[in-house]
Amino acid sequence: MTHTWKDDYSARIMKSAALPSAELVRGEGAYVWDSEGKRYLDFLGGIAVLSLGHAHPVLVAAVSEQIATLAHVSNYFATPPQLELAERLCRITGAGEQGRVYFCNSGAEAIEAAIKLSRRTGRPRILALNNSFHGRTMGSLSLTGKPALREPFEPLLPNVEHIESTVEALEAAMGPDVAALFVEPIKGEAGVIDLPDGYLEAAREITARHGALLILDEIQTGAGRTGAWFAFHKTGIEPDAIALAKGIGGGLPIGALVTFGAASDLLVAGQHGSTYGGNPLVTAAANAVLGEIERAGLVENAERRGNEIRAALVGLPLVEEVRGQGLLIGVGLSKPVAAAVVTSAAAEGLIVNAPNDTSIRLAPPLIIGDSEVAEFITTFTKALEANA
C-alpha cells in the first residue's frame, strides 16, 4: 500500500483530532483543491473564518507588505496597524469613544480576557447558556455548555452556572453576586441555533438591573457574517463587551475583546497581556479584511446571499428547518444523517459541516455571488437526495 498523508497524520498529529477527510493544498475565492487535484466549493470557510475567501488579493497584498515591513514588536511597543484596527473596531462595533480593545490570538483567548474582565467586578458567579460553545482552554471550557466536553477536564473554574436560554431561567439565576452573563447571539457549534426572540433585549435589561456584565461571544457571528457588522446590531442593545476572532482576521490568528462604556475601565495596567496580541502582521491583515468587507458591501451581500440560500433550502429533501442569519446557516435534517450528507457533499465537490447528527452548518465566504449560490444548491440537493 502506498504511504499517504493519512499515515503521516495518524502517526504524528495529537490524537485529540479525528482523521480529516482530505488534505488541502490551495485555495482561491470560494474554492479549495486537495492534494489529489479535486476541487471543492468551500461552504464552511474554515468555520466562519474566511470572510474574503481564499487568497484574496487585498489580504495577500496587506500581509505581504506588512511582513516585509514590520511583523512583530511585542506589547512594549505600539504600531500603526494595531492603532488603526483598535479605532476601526470601536467604530464598527459602535463602542465609540468609550470603547477599548484588548488584542489576543484566538477566540478562546478573547473569552479568557472576558472572564478576567468579569472577575474585576469583584463578584464570584458567572452565568452561561446550556449548549453554548466558548472555546477549549480551561476558562473558556468552563463556560462551554456541553458537559461531554467539560467532564474529562474537571475540576474547571468554580462558580460557573449553565442555564436554559430562557428569560425565566435568567431571572431565576440572577442575583447581586453575578459578575456576568456570557451569550452567543447564535449558537454556532450547537448547530446554528437562534436565541428565542427578544432574549438579548431581556438579557440586557436583567443584567443591567442587577449590575452584571452582558458579554457577547461574537466570535462566530461577527465581522458581517449575519448580515450586520455584529449580530447584536440587529437588536439595538449595547453589551458591556464582545469577544471577537475568526472572521475579523480572514485566516490569520487574531482575537479581540472590545469593551463598551464603564467596562472599559475594569482591567488596569499589568493585569493582562499576550506576546503576540495585536502584532502588526495580524492587525494589518484584519484591517485589510474589515476594510474590504466595508468597501465591497459584504455585510449587505451576506444578508442577500443568505436570504437566497435560505429560500432555496426550504422544501429540499431531508430539510426540516432552516436556522441562523445571513451567511451563518443551520439546516435541521429530518433524520440523523448529517455525517453522511457531509460525505456525499464532499464527493460532489462541496464542503459543508455537521455540528451534530441532525444539523448541517454553512458558513461560506462573504464574497459568494450568483454562480457559487447556484452551484451550492445543485450539489447540496444531490447530497441530500443521496441520503433521503
Ligand X SMILES: Cc1ncc(COP(=O)(O)O)c(C=O)c1O
The whole-angstrom separation of Cα 339 and Cα 127 is 32
Shortest separation between residue 106's beta carbon and ligand X, angstroms? 4
Shortest separation between residue 294's beta carbon and ligand X, angstroms? 23
The whole-angstrom separation of Cα 334 and Cα 321 is 8
Convert 157-193 to b/e letters by CB count within 10 Å (16 or more is b). eeebebbebebeebeebbeeebbbbbbbbbbbbbbbb
Fill in the per-residue mask, 28 to 47: x = in contact with ligand X (CB under 6 A), - = not in contact: -------------------x
Sequence-distant (≥ 6) Cβ neighbours of residue 179 within 8 angstroms: 118, 119, 121, 122, 123, 124, 125, 126, 212, 213
Fill in the per-residue mask, 320 to 359: x = in contact with ligand X (CB under 6 A), - = not in contact: ----------------------------------------
Instruction: Using CB positions, name the residue nearest to ligand X.
Output: 107
Active-site residue identified among 42, 103, 217, 232: 217
Range in contact with ligand X (rule: CB under 6 A) among 59-67, 100-108, 147-155, 157-165: 100-108
Shortest separation between residue 221's beta carbon and ligand X, angstroms? 7
Active-site residue identified among 42, 43, 103, 133: 133
Of 81 and 222, CB closest to ligand X: 222
Q: Which has the closest alpha carbon to 321: 226, 227, 231, 193?
A: 193
Of 206 and 245, CB closest to ligand X: 245
Residue 153 annotated in active site: no
Contact 289, 52 (CB under 8 A): yes
Shortest separation between residue 231's beta carbon and ligand X, angstroms? 11
Amino acid at 295: R
Contact 165, 185 (CB under 8 A): no
- CA torsion sign, 177 to 151 to 129 to 248? positive
Residue 217 annotated in active site: yes
Fill in the per-residue mask, 154 to 193: x = in contact with ligand X (CB under 6 A), - = not in contact: ------------------------------x---xx----
Fill in the per-residue mask, 197 to 236: x = in contact with ligand X (CB under 6 A), - = not in contact: --------------------x-xx----------------
Active-site residue identified among 42, 103, 246, 380: 246
Helix, strand, coil content of the chain in percent (nearest 5): 40, 20, 40
Contact 304, 298 (CB under 8 A): no
The whole-angstrom separation of Cα 380 and Cα 148 is 30
Shortest separation between residue 87's beta carbon and ligand X, angstroms? 23
Of 107 and 306, CB closest to ligand X: 107
Residue 6 annotated in active site: no
Q: Which of 27, 53, 135, 250 binds ligand X (CB under 6 A)?
A: 135
Q: Which of residues 244-303 bind ligand X (CB under 6 A)?
A: 245
Binding-site residue total for ligand X (CB under 6 A)? 15
211: which strand partners? none
The answer to whether residue 112 forms part of the interface with ligand X (CB under 6 A) is: no
DSSP secondary structure, 153-183, as one string: G-S--TTEEEE-SSHHHHHHH--TTEEEEEE
Sequence-distant (≥ 6) Cβ neighbours of residue 340 within 8 angstroms: 386, 387
332: which strand partners? 321, 359
Shortest separation between residue 140's beta carbon and ligand X, angstroms? 6
Shortest separation between residue 273's beta carbon and ligand X, angstroms? 18
Q: Which has the closest alpha carbon to 181: 226, 115, 236, 246?
A: 115
The answer to whether residue 107 forms part of the interface with ligand X (CB under 6 A) is: yes
Q: Which residues are catalytic?
A: 133, 217, 246
Residues of this chain that interact with ligand X (CB under 6 A) are 47, 106-108, 111, 133-135, 184, 188-189, 217, 219-220, 245
